[in-house]
Copies of this chain bind each other. A is one copy, B any other.
Amino acid sequence: MSDATQIFAIRDFNRFYTARLGLLRQRHLDGEFSLTEARMLYEIWANPRLTASNLRGILGLDRGYISRLLASLTKRKLVRQAVSKADSRERLLSLTPAGEKKMAALNRQSEKQIEEMLQGLSREERERLVTSLGVVRSLLTAQKSSEVQVERLSEVTEEVLDLLQEYYEAVGVMVRDTPESVGEIVNDPDAGVWIATLNGKIVGCAYLHSLPSMPGATECKRLYVKPSARGKGVAHALLDAQEAFARSRGFKRIYLDSKDDLRVAIGLYQRRGFVACERYNDNPQATVFLMKEIAETSTKALRR
């Protein structure tokens, strides 16, 4: 297939898919929210501790406009703005219970729309659809931004402790890591802490530590990316580094747990080849347990 034909096929698909999704429409299916408002609600819902500036980065809109929309959503009691303790200029955004409810309704609507789209497809055809979309996505995500740097930590710094603290606050756990507790993992030759930097600034972290009760297995924990740095492949870069490390140490499987409402994160894990497994720990917060085989064959399997 010639280049020109390929490009035409892609443009053609874009037009087709755009029409299919009904993008370009202004109002969300609902009527209560503009498309932009709905996107804002979604982002606030999906990203804890988001700020207006983060939203600006994600949505690519004017500061003033975002400020006004947030004011409106706040006045409608759907969004809360809490002044950040760390920086009192920032307002941490979250949904009120009423906002959560609306968001759930929006999600249901959008799910219904997709169900309609799937109407008339057999079970097998649906599988093919999802697989093909996955292929497209992984191909187009492949180009990683080179600004993201990941390294295995060799020394515990204040900055890293701050980031961990942010993670604990985000998940609502009342723990505090000390230089000693982190140092222990950092110095374990079969475990470690990875940090990701974006343009020199630390934006994400993840632990890897072995599971003594399960030989050949290691666990990824405390994977966290700052809201402002999401969607840039930071989590992928961290997991890439951890998988390479785990493979080099002879581990066969990586485990991790999550909560079922963290769907964005779980989707990401699944795209990387993680599959559901049995509960392997007694963390009461965890409701989803995933595992990935990291033996050499796994890459082949992914290609189908």
Instruction: Tell me, yes or no, whether A13 is within 8 Å of chain B by CB.
Output: yes
Q: Give the chain B neighbours of A22 by CB distance below 8 A.
A: 60
- Mark each residue of chain A from 109 to 143: 1 if its CB lies under 8 Å from any CB of chain B, else 0: 01100110111110001111110111111011111
| A114 B26 Cβ-Cβ under 8 A | no
Bound-state Cα–Cα, A133 to B1, Å: 14
Measured CB to CB, the closest approach of chain B to A186, in angstroms, equals 34
Instruction: Given the known inter-chain contacts A14-B21, A111-B11, A264-B12, please indicate yes or no for A136 contacting B129, CB distance below 8 A.
Output: yes
| A135 B132 Cβ-Cβ under 8 A | yes
| A125 B139 Cβ-Cβ under 8 A | yes
Q: How large is the interface on A (under 10, 10 to 19, 20 to 34, 35 or more residues)?
A: 35 or more
| A114 B7 Cβ-Cβ under 8 A | yes
Instruction: Tell me, yes or no, whether A16 is within 8 Å of chain B by CB.
Output: yes
| A136 B132 Cβ-Cβ under 8 A | yes
Bound-state Cα–Cα, A115 to B2, Å: 13
| B120 A143 Cβ-Cβ under 8 A | yes
Instruction: Tell me, yes or no, whether A88 is within 8 Å of chain B by CB.
Output: no
Instruction: Tell me, yes or no, whether A280 is within 8 Å of chain B by CB.
Output: no
Bound-state Cα–Cα, A21 to B10, Å: 11
Instruction: Tell me, yes or no, whether A20 is within 8 Å of chain B by CB.
Output: yes
Instruction: Tell me, yes or no, whether A281 is within 8 Å of chain B by CB.
Output: no
| A139 B128 Cβ-Cβ under 8 A | yes
Q: Give the chain B neighbours of A141 by CB distance below 8 A.
A: 16
Q: Give the chain B neighbours of A133 by CB distance below 8 A.
A: 9-10, 13, 132, 136
Measured CB to CB, the closest approach of chain B to A137, in angstroms, equals 6
| A140 B20 Cβ-Cβ under 8 A | yes
Q: Which of B11, B24, B114, B137 contacts A114 (CB 8 A)?
A: B11
Q: Which of B110, B115, B128, B140 contacts A135 (CB 8 A)?
A: B128
| B130 A143 Cβ-Cβ under 8 A | no
What would be 22 A-B contacts, judged by CB atoms less than 8 Å apart?
A7-B111, A8-B263, A9-B130, A9-B267, A9-B270, A10-B118, A10-B130, A10-B133, A11-B110, A12-B267, A13-B133, A16-B140, A17-B137, A18-B21, A25-B60, A117-B140, A128-B135, A129-B139, A132-B132, A132-B135, A132-B139, A133-B136
Which A residues are closer than 8 A to B by beta carbons? Answer: 1, 3-14, 16-26, 60, 110-111, 114-115, 117-121, 125-130, 132-137, 139-143, 231, 263-264, 267, 270
